[in-house]
Amino acid sequence: MATQSPFSMLEGFVKAFPTPPAPPAWMVEESHRRVVLLLNHVLQQEPQAMERLARQKGRVILCQWRDFTFKVQATPAGLLDLAGPTAVPDLTLVITDESPITIAQAVMQGEKPKVRIEGDVQLAAEINWLADHVRWDVEEDLSRILGDAPAHLMMQTGRTFAQALQQFAGQRPRTQAPGTAA
């Protein structure tokens, strides 16, 4: 007897929910700018990532999921900027999973969502390297604002919550080597 995911009912509810109206263009552009700022903040923590991205200056990357599109361009400084609306993408990354729940489950298991890749192979390899090696140290950023102890407590609480959610979803939490910090 096959066991259904506890999220199958939630997924059915999400599909039955009416699609909200499209946000105004200014709101979409502003949210894209905020995402670019966050991505650049993370990239600035890794000089090697910036070097790799600088080699791709001027190249345009289009990311797409359902009706959502996000087009960025590599800068000579090794960061990202929004690409113009008429910019032709050198690389297109399309997330093929339609369900946000399926994507969230894959991410929680430490996997990448399924992506269809079209365009420049070298640029795709660089983006894959960035996805594999660049991580946002949230705890470090929080410690700058809140201090070390509160930041560590918040992150530990978040990790405990994530493990509980993984167990609830029927997934084994990733084990950790003895003697290493969480």
Give me the sheet containing 91-95, strands edge to edge. 80-82, 68-74, 60-65, 91-95, 115-119
Q: What was the pLDDT predicted at 6?
A: 57
Kindly report the CATH number that applies to the domain delimited by 24-133: 3.30.1050
CA distance 165 to 171: 9
Q: Is residue 160 exposed (0-12), middle (13-18) or buried (19+ Cβ within 10 Å)?
A: exposed
Q: Output 1 or 96, whichever has higher pLDDT.
A: 96
Write the DSSP assignment of 124-139 as a string of letters.
HHHHHHHHHH----HH
- Cβ atoms of 42 and 80 within 8 Å: the answer is no
Distances (CA, A) of 135 to 6, 58, 140, 144: 30, 24, 12, 17
Residue range 158-180: mean pLDDT, rounded: 63
Residue range 120-124: mean pLDDT, rounded: 92
Q: Output 167 or 48, whichever has higher pLDDT.
A: 48
Strand partners, 87: none
CA distance 29 to 71: 11
Q: What was the pLDDT predicted at 172?
A: 47
Q: Output 14 or 113, whichever has higher pLDDT.
A: 113
Residues near 110 by beta carbon (within 8 Å), at least 6 away in sequence: 174
In which band, very low, low, confident or very high, does the pLDDT at 7 lie, cut at 50, 70 and 90? low
Q: Output 9 or 140, whichever has higher pLDDT.
A: 140
Q: Output 177 or 60, whichever has higher pLDDT.
A: 60
In which band, very low, low, confident or very high, does the pLDDT at 99 lie, cut at 50, 70 and 90? confident
Q: What was the pLDDT predicted at 173?
A: 46
Q: Where are the domains of the chain?
A: 24-133, 138-168
CA end-to-end span of the chain? 37
Question: Could you tell me the sign of the dihedral formed by the alpha carbons of 132, 72, 38, 95, in that order?
Answer: negative
